[in-house]
Amino acid sequence: MSLNLLPVPKILILLIVITLTAWGFLVYQYWQMNTLSMSEMWMPPESAWQWQLTDFAVVYTMWAAMMAAMMLPSAVPMIKAYSKSCQQRYGNDAPFSILFSLAYLLVWLVFSVLLTALQWQLHGLQWLSAMMENSNAFLAAGILIMAGIYQFTALKNACLQHCRSPFSFLLNSWQNGRQGAFNMGLIHGGTCLGCCWAQMLIMFAVGVMNITAMVLITLFILLEKSLPANEQLLSKTAGVMLCVWGGFILL
């Protein structure tokens, strides 16, 4: 008896490799921070004016890896649907799926530049410690409450519905050719950013290298995007919990 297994698109294998590599890098960085002595490990300078190019590079690499590790898994349904459509249209999905995925990832890599700049300023204000942990209760509370409120906004809901409906996006926003593949990847990445940017900022409230928080946020994003299009209970419940958490910090 033989099993007729469906072939796995090459792009999905590539995404798995990138995601696992990114998680491996983050775990290694976390291990270094908890194992090496203070004199052996790299730490961000306390003053913003003391930062060198290497400091920015280290922090950016960390954020870029974090965005890839946390956001690529939730992009798989859209990329898989796009890959299938390209296979049907062109007979070869690989070049188009790669361009789509690269454009999607590019959005998060650009966002990583903003996160790096924000972290630089937070260290300068001494609102983040040398271990990249939050040291300002008002900052933590503000981020959590803001992220909670954002869960109730029309923009959040619109972006979330886009991420939950890959076939609707492909039907209504299809663009032909390689340039079209890249453009569609940018559109999807931008919409996904609109859905999840506030959740990424939570890392500044709980500790930038908090591996547990990374895993929980990643799982929440996966679950939130996998629910039916009109399901709002999880998003709204999370919003309430974040606001309560932020308010509790202020007490």
The per-residue pLDDT for range 118-160, each reduced to its tens digit, is: 999 999 999 999 999 999 999 999 999 999 999 999 999 999 9
So where are the chain's domains?
Answer: 10-27+53-250
Question: How buried is 13 (Cβ within 10 angstroms: 0-12 exposed, 13-18 middle, 19+ buried)?
Answer: exposed
Q: Which of 29-33, 58-62, 97-101, 207-211 is predicted least confidently?
A: 29-33
Helix axes 177-206, 137-150, angle to 10 degrees: 140
Distance CA 116, CA 120 (A): 6
CA distances from 217 to 2, 70, 186, 211 (A): 40, 8, 23, 10
Give the residue carrying structure tokens 């979330």.
Answer: 160
- Give 74's pLDDT tier (boundaries 50, 70, 90): very high
Average pLDDT for the chain: 93
pTM: 0.92
Nearest to 122 by CA among 151, 108, 143: 143
Q: Are 182 and 99 in contact (CB under 8 A)?
A: yes
